[in-house]
Amino acid sequence: MSTPLTAQQTPATRRRERWPLLVHTAALLPLLVAIADLLLGRLTVNPIQDLTHRSGYTALVLLVASLACTPISMVFGFKRVLTLRRPLGLYGFGYALVHMLIFVVVDFGLDITLIWQEVAEKRYILAGMAALLLLIPLAITSTSGWQRRLGRRWRLVHRLVYLAVPLAVIHYIWLVKADIREPLLYAALVILLLLLRLGPLRRAITTWRRRLSS
Amino acid sequence: MVRDNTTSESDDDMIKIPSSEIPPELVYHDRRRFLRSFGVLTAGALALGACGSLPGAAAPPPTVLPGATDGATDELGDPLNSFEQITNYNNFYEFTTEKQGVAALAQGLRTAPWNLEVGGLVRNPRTFAIEDLLTQYDQEERIYRLRCVEAWSMVIPWQGFPLHKLLAVVEPTAEARYLRFETLYDPEQMPGQRSSWFSWPYVEGLRLDEAMHDLTLLSTGLYGRTLLPQNGAPIRLVVPWKYGFKSIKSIVKIDLVAEMPTSLWMAAAPNEYGFYANVNPDVAHPRWTQATERRIGEYSRRPTLPFNGYAEQVAELYADLDLRVNY
């Protein structure tokens, strides 16, 4: 995780700052585009459904991107990318939260009976809800303060993401009507990103990279 | 089978004005209504300019302005959806699975010449040219609700003629129990058909008594205009008490058969789509609630009605069926 910035900034640390800036811009772009499309009436004639799809898709992309940071740093020895895990994960959670709120508040108008019926009836909603619930403790403990307080246990807690993202992908696979090529692509990507974290593979990659650089 | 005398009836109707003098877009059954629409035409145009309708919606310049039937409602008092809504939000997987992308991709569909072949277990198998269907059969306006299985719905002013009129001409034999409909198969024109996820062409089916029901329409137009490709030009089925996917588009073939046909959706996901697909709020679909729906243009959901509100007319067709099993 990124260390809090101190008063004495070197040119190198200032360069480091640009990275999160890029992430902030990229992550906020879908929101800005959605607002623009809302104002211009470009959200199809079924705007609620369109917003639901957009927010869910963006959440998934950001969460997978967050999951990709560690393997990228491993394979390419690109340490700075690790600082992006937190903002990417938090933005992903933010979009997932908006996604759920659109469903609960806008689409179903807080009608608890109807919502309960939906959640109980549809396995894809259960998967999505589970993914979001798992992300909540991660978002809360994402601050440096919580990281310090939890110490070793922090990493353990944050491994929940290895469960949450696959659940989000399952949510996506189950909701698509027929052509599940794209959801399966995400599934393959997530499986790869998780496999790369496994001990033996991880060590093999690190040794291989050391040999390359020496 | 009763001989078809409706054809001659409609001929009588048309005799006064040679059909060549009426632009096909303007063939309204009810002339008074047609004249009335002209009255609101100017008002409609002004309103359209004021609200700007849907920016980015790629509707071609309309012959009859959308809104010509403004103020009209279905029999339950619900207003029509706009021409823009109906022509820019379409499920037509032959082009793309993106509902808002169909209109643009479908523009090039060649709808003339177009033949509709009707055969199988009939006494008079026939191939109809689309222009013959348009002139031989009186084109009525029918305002129907369309309920998509994805839990959205619209109210649409269709033109067309009841399928039973066509069946009366071809005369199904005693063995005929079902109808099997087929959409055009032409991957050159319909890029979605290159996807191997479905067993193209699109196939749908009806029981003979469902097909004979007066509500079952072969539609050739909507809002007083010829059908646009995205809505299933030049001829499509409309079965208002069933989920939208039953209302097969751009039909080239109708076969009368003895066995229940397997539709494209039944083949793709048998656990999700049955043959009947009657709108039923009590039978859930794994992905979409069927208890409620969003009427396009409305903010909150509304309850879905059994048989999409046509229970009074059609429920008796299914008196002997357990609709939970035969979904």
Predicted confidence (pLDDT) at residue B211 exceeds the cutoff of 50: yes
pLDDT at A11: 53
Predicted confidence (pLDDT) at residue A25 exceeds the cutoff of 50: yes
| CA distances in angstroms from B123 to A195, B136, B166, B175, listed in the order given | 65, 20, 13, 11
Half-sphere exposure of A209 (CA within 13 A, CB side): 14
Which range among A18-27, A186-195, B57-66, B261-270 shows the weakest confidence by mean pLDDT?
A: B57-66
Q: Minimal Cα–Cα distance from B67 to chain A, Å?
A: 16
Percent of chain A beyond pLDDT 90? 64
More confident residue, B153 or A78: B153
CB contact under 8 A, A178 and B198: yes
- Cβ contacts of B284 on chain A, cutoff 8 Å: 121-122
Backbone φ, ψ for residue B280 (5° rounding)? -145, 105
Cα separation, A179 vs B15, in Å, equals 51
Express each pLDDT in A77-125 by its tens digit: 888 899 999 999 999 999 999 999 999 999 999 999 888 888 887 889 9
Is B199 touching A (CB cutoff 8 A)? no
Mean of pLDDT values over B193-217: 95
- Cβ contacts of B56 on chain A, cutoff 8 Å: 40-42
- Cβ contacts of A46 on chain B, cutoff 8 Å: 89, 99, 152, 294, 296
Mean of pLDDT values over B159-172: 97
Is A42 touching B (CB cutoff 8 A)? yes
Query: What's this model's pTM, rounded to 2 decimal places?
Result: 0.78
- Mean pLDDT comparison of A141-145, A163-167, A177-181, A209-213, highest-scoring range: A163-167
CB contact under 8 A, A107 and B291: no
DSSP A40: T
Mean of pLDDT values over A177-193: 92
Express each pLDDT in B252-261 by its tens digit: 999 999 999 9
CB contact under 8 A, B99 and A117: no
pLDDT at B286: 66
Across chain B, how many H-helices and E-strands are there? 9, 12
CB contact under 8 A, A109 and B56: no
- Identify the three-state secondary structure at position B211: helix
Mean of pLDDT values over B290-311: 94
pLDDT at B65: 42
Percent of chain B beyond pLDDT 90? 67
Predicted confidence (pLDDT) at residue B285 exceeds the cutoff of 80: no
Confidence of residue A178 (pLDDT cuts 50, 70, 90): confident
| CA distances in angstroms from A170 to A130, A136, A176, listed in the order given | 11, 19, 10
Predicted confidence (pLDDT) at residue B67 exceeds the cutoff of 50: no
pLDDT at B34: 38
More confident residue, B192 or B284: B192
Cα separation, A169 vs A186, in Å, equals 7
Average pLDDT across chain B, whole number: 83
- Cβ contacts of B286 on chain A, cutoff 8 Å: 121-124, 174
Confidence of residue B53 (pLDDT cuts 50, 70, 90): very low
pLDDT at B312: 96
pLDDT at B10: 40
Q: What is the dihedral of CA B16, B21, B26, B32, to 10 degrees?
A: -30
More confident residue, B103 or B28: B103
More confident residue, B206 or B271: B206
Which range among A71-85, A132-146, B107-121 shows the weakest confidence by mean pLDDT?
A: A71-85
Give per-residue burial for A178-211: e unless 16+ CB within 10 Å, then b.
Answer: ebeeebeebbeebeebeebeeeeeeeeeeeeeee
CB contact at 8 A, A45 and B85: yes
Predicted confidence (pLDDT) at residue B148 exceeds the cutoff of 80: yes
pLDDT at B254: 98
- The candidate with the shortest Cα–Cα distance to A66, out of A78, A77, A76, A81, is A81
More confident residue, B155 or A115: B155
Give Rg (Cα) of chain A.
19
Predicted confidence (pLDDT) at residue A51 exceeds the cutoff of 90: yes
pLDDT at A22: 86
pLDDT at A78: 84
CA angle at A51 for the pair B55 and A24, rounded to the nearest 5°: 105
- Identify the three-state secondary structure at position B226: strand
* A119 to chain B: closest CA residue: B289
Residue appearing with tokens 């009588």: B12
Percent of chain B beyond pLDDT 70? 78
Helix (H) or strand (E) holding A166: helix A161-175
Mean of pLDDT values over A51-60: 97
CB contact under 8 A, A42 and B56: yes
Confidence of residue A17 (pLDDT cuts 50, 70, 90): low
Q: Minimal Cα–Cα distance from B113 to chain A, Å?
A: 32
Q: DSSP letters along B126-139, please?
A: EEEEHHHHHHHS--
Express each pLDDT in B69-81 by its tens digit: 667 899 999 999 9
Cα separation, A157 vs B54, in Å, equals 47
- From chain A residues 105-144, the ones with a CB under 8 A of any chain B CB are 107-109, 111, 114, 117-118, 121-124
- Identify the three-state secondary structure at position B177: coil
pLDDT at B70: 61
Mean of pLDDT values over B65-91: 84
Mean of pLDDT values over A122-133: 94
Predicted confidence (pLDDT) at residue B40 exceeds the cutoff of 70: no
